[in-house]
A = this chain, B = another copy of it.
């Protein structure tokens, strides 16, 4: 990897972790530089708009990374219930691994900066829509009609986002696993009564 790209990646990685754990406002450019080990010049080279530019980049990268994970799970899962349970299991393990210090990679930044930062808000909208679209496709690929798929995908997204907050506050994986199990249970009854 070229030296410069290495610095860009290090800046993004440090920013994402610090924003997620302590918030966007609570993270200064100085801390990002120290944590990443990147030189000051690289920060303004890649992110001439400073912290807001980094915020947008962090949201977009998280969007791609999570989207890729969702896509892989979608092709592997034998049913929408299996998909949500697998994804919840992954999130629960990852939260536990961080000792419940992480969470959705974009929520904290967005709660601090939407709607004040138009650029960060727009990036957040696109990312959340893209995740909901991937989830919706899971239902459609298992024979649900598009309206039912959209409703289920929206509820899945809201439930998991909320469960990640509860998990962080309770310092426990159970809200994430409980939400997914309850959704799977409700969909199971729903399908059997159709």
The residues of A with any CB-CB pair to B shorter than 8 Å are 22-26, 99-101, 103, 107-108, 110-112, 114-116, 121, 124-125, 128, 151-152, 154-155, 157-166, 168-171, 175, 178-179, 181-183, 185-187, 189-190, 192-193
Contact = CB atoms under 8 A, between A and B. Distances in A.
Contacts of A164: 162
Given A23-B25, A154-B178, A103 B111 contact: yes
Contact of A121 (B115, B163, B169): B169
A152 B181 CA distance: 11
18 contacts: A22-B116, A23-B26, A110-B169, A114-B169, A125-B170, A151-B181, A152-B182, A154-B166, A158-B159, A158-B162, A158-B165, A158-B178, A159-B159, A161-B162, A162-B162, A162-B163, A186-B186, A189-B193
Contact of A161 (B25, B165, B190): B165
Most buried by B among A101, A166, A187: A166
Count this chain's copies in the assembly.
2
A105 B24 CA distance: 18
The binding surface of chain A is classed by DSSP as: helix
Contacts of A168: 110-111, 114-115
Most buried by B among A125, A154, A170, A178: A154
A23 B155 CA distance: 26
A107 B186 CA distance: 27
A188 B130 CA distance: 29
Of all A-B residue pairs in the complex, the 8 with the closest CB atoms, nearest first, are: A25-B26, A162-B162, A161-B162, A158-B162, A23-B112, A158-B163, A186-B186, A25-B25
